[in-house]
């Protein structure tokens, strides 16, 4: 006769061998995931039904019939949360070797500590399986965490070594449009990582990103070669399913005295019956993912902010009106981050004669619309070239002067002349004097130490050294890419992503007279044909490397200093970050001026006069 305690022991052992019940990622998240105030505006238990479109996206990842999932989406639509839920599911229910690939290695620390560790700590079923990173525990570090049956490695797409050193079953790629074309000299980082999964019959590849530039967007290319699914909602009138599209939005708005936009109505027209309904009526319906194509192994999903429960249509319309007001640069960002669509540039080359013909006679040294002056300096072997630019509302700009200081930069007199030039002022019609609020000097040439010494002694005048960084491998580098201090001189050094800077300058040069960001040029003052030949000395060309399309700026003329100086001035404006849309108070006539001297006031954001 079997003793009760023996029977109980065998029962417990049998339960350990029982297969786990079938579970999807969305169900796992609903049962286990807890959001915290560290990463979420809505802390508490995860609720997939909060945004129903999430369910099928997540469940496609662990669907045995799907090998790859592509998510092309606008910003702020929990793209990274999809990946975190997948990670949690595989750690808890289907242990496997996992690789999460970020655009570069510098992002690993933040993701590991703020996103992954926060999720693990807040989720009891994970907390006991993944220990904290410890210096003496090589199996659990910032970049790699082990758990029973597997591990997760967090890598940068720019590191060839980390992409080719281990087998993986689950590949999760975040923000793929920010990846370099090649990881070192080894080739496409996505292709390298996918090779690591070849030995697994049940491998999974997940690609997530906000799109960027048309033809060079990896996520758009992947999405176009997929089922191309869109979230469809039924028309409240005819009940026909359809995607919510920006082109069918109808809205009205008012502009307040302070320049703000007040959206009074935002409706969406049915593509079938033409009926227009408000947001709450559309979103009340039961949605469904509908594929536009057939694909044997890759499902693709497109999301825009119009279907988000965290953004209202009025918010979306308001953001569009602001983007349209602020110019092409802002509208491009809005298209990517709100609509989740790629941006298609209108042209790739500027004509110097067209820009030269735009030169105009200013009524004074500084036009009345100017709020602040910036300067940029390019250092050559036998001269310094300087451009001073005035900036106004909407980043509209006015060239003030293009000046050349001859002489070898190794000679102190050249720097004395520059110092005197940067210390002068320019006046508008009312006699208001403008000094240079900030100066950026290129330190990337043969006179680096001279630049550092000059800038370190004048940091109080916001004269900073800069060093440009190109993206030869197609990776995304923001215009402002951080700053440090030089070891010896202790000068502030800003690193610039010059490709993004050139794109911004290119867009502003194309802006029409009535558009934000339009560039004005004066007659004379150094703005001659040679200047405009230099300003248009580069063009953007499409290239393909190892099967990956990307864009690169190439010289069509040797002298390109004016183009570079426009980039440096644009960076200077971003560093300063002034309130350009604040109206300038009219000058007070001397006879009406108060007798008591008052301390000059600074703007809150820019800290300029």
Residue-level pLDDT at 346: 60
Query: Which sign, positive or negative, has the C-alpha torsion 271, 274, 275, 277?
Result: positive
Query: pLDDT: is 4 or 308 the higher one?
Result: 308
Query: Which sign, positive or negative, has the C-alpha torsion 384, 524, 535, 556?
Result: negative
Domain identity same for 181 and 66:
yes
Residue keyed to tokens 């080739």:
187
Q: What proportion of the chain, given as a percentage, has pLDDT over 90?
A: 58
When pLDDT is cut at 50, 70 and 90, the band that residue 591 belongs to is: very low
Q: What proportion of the chain, given as a percentage, has pLDDT over 70?
A: 88
Domain identity same for 297 and 423:
no
70 located within any domain: yes
Which tokens in the block code for residue 2? 């079997």
pLDDT over 70 (residue 309): yes
Reference 107, options 469, 472, 476, 470; nearest CA is 476
The tens digit of pLDDT for each residue in 17-66 reads 445 457 899 999 999 999 988 878 888 999 999 999 999 999 999 999 99
What is the distance between the alpha carbons of residues 476 and 333, in angstroms, rounded to a whole number? 14
For the chain, the average pLDDT equals: 86
What is the distance between the alpha carbons of residues 202 and 169, in angstroms, rounded to a whole number? 7
What is the distance between the alpha carbons of residues 168 and 176, in angstroms, rounded to a whole number? 18
233 located within any domain: no
**Domain encompassing residue 403:** 359-529+559-583
Residue/partner pairs of 128-133 with CB below 8 Å, 24 or more apart = 129/91, 129/92, 130/91
Measured from the Cβ of residue 198, the count of other Cβ atoms closer than 10 Å reads 9
347 located within any domain: no
Domain identity same for 368 and 471:
yes
Q: Which CATH number is 120's domain given?
A: 3.40.50.300
When pLDDT is cut at 50, 70 and 90, the band that residue 181 belongs to is: confident
Residue-level pLDDT at 17: 47
The tens digit of pLDDT for each residue in 194-238 reads 999 999 999 999 999 999 988 889 999 999 999 999 999 999 999
260 located within any domain: no
Residue-level pLDDT at 268: 96
What 3-state class would DSSP assign to 561?
Answer: helix
| Alpha carbon 450 to chain centroid, angstroms | 34
Q: Which of 303, 338, 368 is the last residue of a domain?
A: 303
Domain identity same for 391 and 480:
yes
How many structural domains is the chain composed of? 2
Domain identity same for 297 and 374:
no
Measured from the Cβ of residue 324, the count of other Cβ atoms closer than 10 Å reads 15
- Rounded to an integer, the average pLDDT of 508-536 is 88
pLDDT over 70 (residue 604): no
Reference 89, options 67, 63, 51, 53; nearest CA is 63
Domain identity same for 523 and 418:
yes
Please give the backbone phi and psi of residue 336, each rounded to the nearest 5 degrees, phi first. Answer: -70, -50
Domain identity same for 79 and 207:
yes
pLDDT over 80 (residue 589): no
Residue-level pLDDT at 511: 81
The tens digit of pLDDT for each residue in 421-474 reads 999 999 999 989 999 999 999 998 888 999 999 999 999 999 999 998 876 666
Q: Which CATH number is 390's domain given?
A: 3.30.420
The tens digit of pLDDT for each residue in 242-301 reads 999 999 999 999 988 877 899 999 999 999 999 999 999 999 999 999 999 999 899 999
405 located within any domain: yes
Domain identity same for 166 and 298:
yes
284 located within any domain: no
Domain identity same for 386 and 299:
no
32 located within any domain: yes
Domain identity same for 521 and 386:
yes
pTM of full prediction above 0.85: no
145 located within any domain: yes
Domain identity same for 298 and 412:
no
Domain identity same for 135 and 200:
yes
pLDDT over 90 (residue 85): yes
């Amino acid at each position: 006769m079997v003793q009760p305690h023996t029977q109980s022991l065998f029962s417990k052992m049998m339960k350990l061998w029982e297969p786990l019940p079938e579970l999807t990622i969305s169900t796992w998240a609903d049962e286990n995931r807890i959001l915290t105030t560290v990463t979420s505006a809505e802390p508490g238990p995860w609720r997939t039904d909060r945004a129903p479109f999430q369910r099928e996206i997540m469940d496609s990842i662990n669907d045995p019939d799907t090998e790859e999932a592509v998510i092309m989406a606008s910003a702020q639509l929990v793209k990274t949360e999809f990946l975190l839920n997948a990670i949690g599911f595989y750690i808890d229910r289907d242990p496997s070797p996992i690789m999460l690939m970020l655009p570069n290695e510098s992002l690993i620390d933040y993701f590991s500590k703020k996103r992954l560790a926060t999720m693990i700590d807040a989720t009891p079923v994970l907390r006991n399986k993944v220990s904290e990173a410890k210096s003496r525990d090589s199996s659990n570090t910032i970049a790699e965490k082990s758990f029973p049956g597997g591990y997760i490695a967090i890598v940068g797409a720019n590191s060839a070594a980390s992409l080719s050193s281990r087998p993986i079953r689950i590949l999760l790629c975040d923000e793929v449009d920010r990846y370099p074309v090649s990881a070192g000299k080894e080739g496409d980082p996505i292709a390298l990582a996918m090779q690591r999964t070849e030995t697994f019959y049940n491998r999974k590849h997940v690609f997530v990103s906000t799109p960027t530039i048309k033809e060079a967007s990896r996520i758009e290319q992947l999405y176009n070669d997929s089922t191309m699914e869109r979230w469809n909602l039924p028309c409240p009138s005819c009940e026909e399913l359809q995607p919510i599209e920006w082109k069918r939005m109808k809205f009205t708005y008012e502009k307040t005295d302070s320049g703000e936009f007040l959206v009074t109505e935002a409706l969406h027209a049915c593509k079938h019956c033409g009926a227009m309904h408000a947001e709450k009526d559309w979103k009340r319906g039961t949605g469904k993912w509908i594929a536009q194509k057939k694909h044997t192994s890759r499902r693709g999903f497109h999301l825009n902010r119009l279907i988000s429960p965290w953004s209202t249509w009025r918010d979306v319309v308001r953001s569009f009106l602001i983007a349209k007001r602020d110019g092409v640069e802002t509208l491009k960002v809005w298209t990517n981050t709100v609509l989740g669509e790629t941006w298609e540039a209108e042209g790739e080359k500027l004509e110097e004669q067209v820009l030269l013909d735009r030169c105009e006679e200013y009524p004074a040294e500084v036009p009345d619309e100017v709020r602040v002056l910036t300067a940029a300096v390019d250092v050559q072997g036998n001269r310094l070239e300087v451009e001073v630019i005035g900036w106004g509302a909407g980043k509209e700009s006015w060239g003030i002067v293009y000046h050349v200081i001859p002489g070898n930069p190794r000679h102190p007199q050249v720097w004395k002349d520059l110092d005197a030039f940067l210390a002068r002022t320019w006046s508008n019609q009312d006699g208001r004097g403008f000094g240079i609020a900030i100066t950026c000097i290129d330190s990337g040439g043969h006179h680096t130490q001279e630049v550092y010494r000059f800038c370190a002694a004048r940091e109080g005048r916001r004269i900073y050294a800069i060093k440009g960084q190109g993206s030869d491998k197609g990776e995304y580098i923001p215009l402002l890419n951080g700053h440090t201090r030089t070891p010896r001189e202790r000068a502030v050094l800003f690193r610039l992503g010059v490709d993004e800077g050139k794109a911004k300058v290119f867009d502003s040069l194309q802006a029409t007279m009535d558009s934000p960001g339009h560039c004005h040029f004066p007659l004379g003052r150094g703005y001659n044909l040679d200047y405009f030949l230099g300003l248009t000395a580069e063009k953007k060309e499409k290239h393909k490397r190892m099967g990956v399309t990307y864009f690169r700026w190439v010289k069509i003329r040797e002298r390109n200093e004016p183009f570079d100086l426009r980039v440096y001035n644009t960076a200077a404006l971003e560093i300063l970050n002034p309130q350009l849309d604040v109206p300038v108070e009219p000058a007070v006539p001397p006879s009406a001026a108060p007798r008591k001297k008052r301390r000059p006031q600074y703007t809150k954001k820019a800290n300029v006069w």
